[in-house]
Amino acid sequence: MAFSWFILSPDNASADIRSVSVTPLVSDTEDPSFFRISGEPNSVKELKLSVTNFGDMPIELRVQPTNATTSTTGQLSFDEKVVAGDYGLRHAFSDMTSPKTVMLKSDQTKDLTFNVKLPAQSLDGTVIGGFDVYDVKHPNDGHTGVGVYFDSTPATKNHLIKFDGVTPKVQNKQPFLMVNLANFSPETIKDTVVQVKVRKNNWYNKLGFDSRVSVQDIKFGQIAPNSKIPIEFNQKQTPIQPGNYLVEGIAKNGRDSWRFKQNVKIDPVAADMVNQRAKNLIYDKTGLYLTIIGILTAVIVLIFWGISYQRRYS
């Protein structure tokens, strides 16, 4: 009953809202799937979105400005809140325009206008904003995103990928360990292969009772600028074990490579919160059994030592 292998979960965090259509209103010469913005610093640009409710019930939608993030399948997504400073991000789209909330009846369409004020300084590197659209009352039922690409000067810095910790979480009522890398460069990184190894790093692993290692090889087609690079390890029915883990790996593309090796600790409180929200867990009692065996072995040794001691001095 040793610590089970982690298995990568399919990405299902970016599902669209089934009954909602979101369309950027752009000119005939532009790509109809996203916005593109160019202009002088401090200038104001107007963007228009058309939202339609095809469902048979009214729906209240939130249209939240954010920045591009990276999904577990290597795609750009817009379903997370992003602020300036995240992974070195200099320009947050949420600082350039305000969110809107709209109520739509069944089969109703509304056009929304957003005034986007560009920063006072010129934009450096790749800046990809976006609108995250979701149901206010059911925010976990799906998100729809529309990208906003800014014309800016090319990045002069090299790519920079760093290890950014491990966190436990629940998804689809199963426990996951999330290994986080991060792109700290203001540039989209394409065709990047990431290999990650994770193993428990406690006393009985070091004694060789459980030396198994979980390995994932993942190819990211696109990594968003200044974004987290999420790698999910599904433990299925095995609860999150608190304690020490060793995480190591490499990320590489055609021109660069980055290696990382880190000892991390999963907090017992965080692990317990995840395990309580997960369902049908099968608890691994290897550590408990080994501890009991160790105590019994010590007791037996003491008994035989006591008997030997009494015989020598009787």
- Among residues 185, 165, 179, the alpha carbon closest in space to that of 256 is found at 185
Averages of pLDDT over each 10 residues, the chain, 314 residues: 31 58 86 89 95 93 96 92 94 96 95 96 92 92 92 76 93 92 93 93 67 86 95 89 92 88 94 90 71 86 82 72
At residue 5, the pLDDT reads 31
Residue located via tokens 């202009």:
39
At residue 7, the pLDDT reads 29
At residue 10, the pLDDT reads 32
CA dihedral 115, 123, 221, 230 (to 10 degrees): -80
What is the pTM for the complete model shown?
A: 0.79
> Dihedrals φ, ψ of 97, to 5°?
-150, 170
β strands within the chain, DSSP E: 20-24, 35-37, 44-53, 59-67, 69-70, 76-77, 100-104, 108-117, 128-135, 143-150, 161-171, 174-183, 189-200, 214-223, 227-234, 243-252, 257-266
Domains of the chain with bracketed CATH: 20-150 (2.60.40.2310), 161-288 (2.60.40.10)
